[in-house]
Chains A and B, each alone.
Chain A
Amino acid sequence: MSEAVSALQGAVSEGFARVKETGLRGMITLRCDLASGALAKALKAVLGAKVPGQRRIVDGAGGRVAWMSPDELLILCAHDRAQAMVGELAAALGREHALVVNVSDARAVFAVSGTGAREVLAKLAPVDLSDEAFQPGEIRRTRLAQVPAAFWINQDGRFEIVCFRSVAQYVFDILKVSAEPGGEIGVLT
């Protein structure tokens, strides 16, 4: 197989917050009835994770599981594990009506870190990003300027953003402009 390359190959921009394309990440789309027992068992067996509730992202030993819609999950794992994990999940789901697809190379992942990280995103997305409203453990699908994206915040205050690979350069550029020195608003920390 050809060598896998991430969309922007680890591009970095230093502003009042740091924007970084995080490189290769394994991503699996899983669609099925989220209430099904077979799904809960499969996630526990393969990832050691629970089925996330509405708009939640949960951790497991083998990766993270994010709630995307009432019938869709996104699993994040190591890039080289993704293809094998698709097979393991499909096998574990057995005859359950489900769809498991490796979408790793269809997406790009960015990280925004630093004191103004919340502001960088608040300028681009119609989301309340105040400390009280947006906390670790939540994933928010929304738009960043003109393109759809999803993001969550980690315990250390670092945001991770997932978007389609085809708009990776666009998303990097808007994050970079949003984080430019002099653009601090100073309301969100």
Chain B
Amino acid sequence: MLILECPYCGVTAEETELHAEGEAHLKRFGPGSDDAAFEGYLFMRENPKGVHFERWRHSNGCGKFFHAARCTMTLQVFGTYPAQTLEPPQDIRDRISAVYPGWRWRDFA
């Protein structure tokens, strides 16, 4: 059972109270962008064994979207943070580095 803390209402919510909403930190490519960029935005997703950044929604709660950093292999949760950001906060990156030195995820390290 995955347990995440909603950064908006502070509830330690278990998985059934939440809804997974796919990969976090996607950069949107809309009209005017070239086909390769648009395809990448629409279809290309990370599928890592290890560190991963996801969007979750507290659907049976406050209803807000938030981000979570976790490991897909060990289910270790490194932390959750509000969705109004373009990159993971430094304290969460540090926590990941402590467990997986030299980790990379898209452009983040």
Measured CB to CB, the residues of A under 8 A from B are 54-55, 68-70, 72, 126, 140-143, 148
Measured CB to CB, the residues of B under 8 A from A are 8-11, 13-14, 16-17, 59-64
Known contacts A126-B14, A126-B16; A141 and B8 CB within 8 A of each other: no
List 23 A-B residue pairs with CB atoms under 8 Å apart, sorted by A's residue number. A54-B9, A55-B9, A55-B11, A68-B62, A69-B63, A69-B64, A70-B8, A70-B9, A70-B62, A70-B64, A72-B62, A126-B13, A126-B16, A126-B17, A140-B11, A141-B9, A141-B60, A141-B61, A142-B11, A142-B17, A142-B60, A143-B16, A143-B17
By secondary structure, the B interface counts as loop
Cα distance, A55 to B6, chains bound together (Å): 12
A55 touches B10 (CB 8 A): yes
B8 touches A69 (CB 8 A): yes
Q: Which residues of A contact B8 (CB under 8 A)?
A: 69-70
Cα distance, A143 to B16, chains bound together (Å): 8
Q: Which residues of A contact B13 (CB under 8 A)?
A: 126, 142
Q: How far is the CB of A28 from chain B (nearest CB, A)?
A: 18
Q: Which residues of B contact A148 (CB under 8 A)?
A: 59-60
